[in-house]
Amino acid sequence: MREIGHFIGGKRVAGTSGRSGDVFDPNTGEVQAKVSFANKSEVELAIANAEAAQPSWATVNPQRRARVLFKFLELVQREFDNLAKLLSSEHGKTIPDSKGDIQRGLEVVEFACGIPHLLKGEFSDSAGPGIDLFSLRQPLGVVAGITPFNFPAMIPMWKFAPALACGNAFILKPSERDPSVPMRLAELLVDAGLPAGVLNVVNGDKEAVDTLLTDPRVRAIGFVGSSAIAEYIYSTGCAHGKRVQCFGGAKNHMVVMPDADMDQAVDALVGAGYGSAGERCMAVSVAVPVGKKTADVLVEKLIPRVESLKIAPSSDPQADYGPMVTKAHLDKVKSYIDVGVKEGAKLKVDGRGFKLQGYEGGFFMGGCLFDEVTPAMRIYKEEIFGPVLSVVRAKNYEEALRLPSEHEYGNGVAIFTRDGDTARDFATRVNVGMVGVNFAIPVPLAYHTFGGWKRSGFGDLNQHGPDAVRFYTKTKTVTSRWPSGLKEGAEFVIPTMK
C-alpha cells in the first residue's frame, strides 16, 4: 500500500506518529493509499525548518523570488496532464475539471510572479521640511495554510504562492482526503529553486492543525473549509495572537428573472449546480425563479436535464461529473434528501438510487432536484455540498433579493436577467461577497480578491489579488530627516503639520 508522509526540509519524509487515514479511489471505493497524520513533534519539526529557512528567503530580492515561481509555472505545465489524473483519482472530479482546478491555482501563481511590482511601497517626498516618508511591506515570517478537499491544487496555490512571493516561509496542511497533488506541488517548488524548508507540507488532522494554531512561531493562518471549523480556527488562531483569515461554507443562490433567457439559465444551473458533483463552495445550490410562470417553465426545463446527467468514472471524457469524495460524504448528502422529503419539499428528480455497472463500490450519486423548498427547511438553511438543487419560488424581485441577503452564508450569488437596471440594483444591494450577472459561478480572477461574507468568511482580508499581499505582509512606515533639516534644541511639543 502506498504511504504518504510529509514534506519537510525540502524532501519527503515518512510519518512517525503511527496514526494514518485512508485515501480512497472514489470511483471504486477502494483504499489506494494511507496518509500519515502528523503529531505535535512532526509539525514542530516543520515549523523549525521553516523558521530556519525564512530569514534568508526574505533577503532574496523579489525579482529572484518571482523567478522561482516562473520556473514552478513551467514545471507544473510540463506535468499538467499527470497532475490532473492524480487529482481526479483521489477527488473524483472529472479530468477537465481537475485541469480547471490546477489552472485556477496557476493563475494566482502568475499573479504572484508580479511581486516586484506588488511590493513597491509608498513614498512621500518632502512631507515636511527636509522630511521624507516611506512605507515598506515586510514578510510576516512563518505562515500556515489549512485547505479543504474540494480544490486540492487551486487552494494550496492560492495560499502559498503569494505568501512565498512576499518572502514568508509556508507550512501547508492539505486535506487528508486528497493529499497527493499538494505533495507533488511541494516537490516541484523545490525543483524550481525554492530553498529547502521554505515550504513544508504536514499531512494530518486536528492534532496537526492545533499545533499550527498554538505555536507562537506561526504568525498567520489562512484557512478554507467548512464554517464550523473556520469559526474554530479563527477564534483559536486569534486567541493565540495570529493574523487569521478563514473562508467557510456556502449556500449560493441564482435568481432567475422573468425576462431571462430560460435556456441559458437552465444551462447555467445544470453546470453550476451539478458540476464536480456539487462539491464546490461556489456551486449554485438554490435556484430562485421570480414569479409563478418563470418557476413553472424553469422546473419543467430542469427536470429532463437533471435526469439525463451523465454520471461516470472521473476518467470518462463524457462524464458531466464523477463520484463524491468519500462514502461518508455520500451518505451525508443522501441523508439530506430524506430530510427534504420529510420537510415537505417536492422531490422532482431522485438520484439516491443511482448505480454504475462495474463500479458498484464507487461513491456515485445521481442528480437530485427539489421544488417548492421554503426558507424554513433544513435543506435550504444548511450546506449540502452534493449534486442537489433546491428551487425556492419568489413572488417578486424584492423577495428574491431578500433570500440570499438574509441567508446566514454569503459566499456567491447570481442573477440572470436582460435588464441592466435590475442587475445593477441587485449587485449593489445584495448582502453577499461575490456577485454574478448572467454568470453562475462568479469566482473573481486572480488579480481581484475572492471572499464571502457573513458565515462564509472570517477576517478582514480576502484571498488572492491585492488583499493577499496585504495579508502576507506587515507595513512599516519610516519617517526620515537628515542633519541639514534638523533645528537646534529639543522639541517638547508633538510634531504637527500646522
For binding to ligand NAD (CB under 6 A), which residues are involved? 146-151, 173, 175-176, 205-206, 209, 224-226, 229, 247-250, 281, 383, 385, 411, 452, 456
Q: Shortest approach of ligand NAD to residue 304 CB, angstroms?
A: 29
Closest by CA to 50, choosing from 234, 215, 185, is 215
Give 25 or 176: the residue with its C-beta nearer to ligand NAD: 176
Q: Shortest approach of ligand NAD to residue 90 CB, angstroms?
A: 12
DSSP for 289-322 reads: EBSHHHHHHHHHHHHHHHHT--B--TT-TT-SB-
Phi–psi pair at 71, nearest 5 degrees: -65, -40
Q: Shortest approach of ligand NAD to residue 456 CB, angstroms?
A: 5
Determine the Cα–Cα distance for residues 467 and 453; give it in Å rounded to an integer.
Answer: 15
Give 213 or 469: the residue with its C-beta nearer to ligand NAD: 213
Q: Shortest approach of ligand NAD to residue 42 CB, angstroms?
A: 15
Give 146 or 255: the residue with its C-beta nearer to ligand NAD: 146
Closest by CA to 209, choosing from 191, 232, 241, 188, is 232
Please name the residues in contact with 166: beta carbons below 8 A apart, sequence gap of 6 or more.
115, 119, 137, 139, 140, 469, 472, 473
Give 10 or 412: the residue with its C-beta nearer to ligand NAD: 412
Please name the residues in contact with 270: beta carbons below 8 A apart, sequence gap of 6 or more.
302, 305, 306, 309
Q: Shortest approach of ligand NAD to residue 74 CB, angstroms?
A: 27
**Residue 211 in contact with residue 201, Cβ under 8 Å?**
no
Determine the Cα–Cα distance for residues 8 and 171; give it in Å rounded to an integer.
Answer: 9
Residue nearest to ligand NAD (CB): 225
Give 15 or 248: the residue with its C-beta nearer to ligand NAD: 248
Q: Shortest approach of ligand NAD to residue 419 CB, angstroms?
A: 30
- Beta bridge partners, 137, equal 475
Residues designated catalytic: 281
Give 276 or 294: the residue with its C-beta nearer to ligand NAD: 276
- The x, y and z cell numbers of residue 293, run together, are 410562470
Residue owning grid cell 496532464? 81
- The x, y and z cell numbers of residue 281, run together, are 463552495
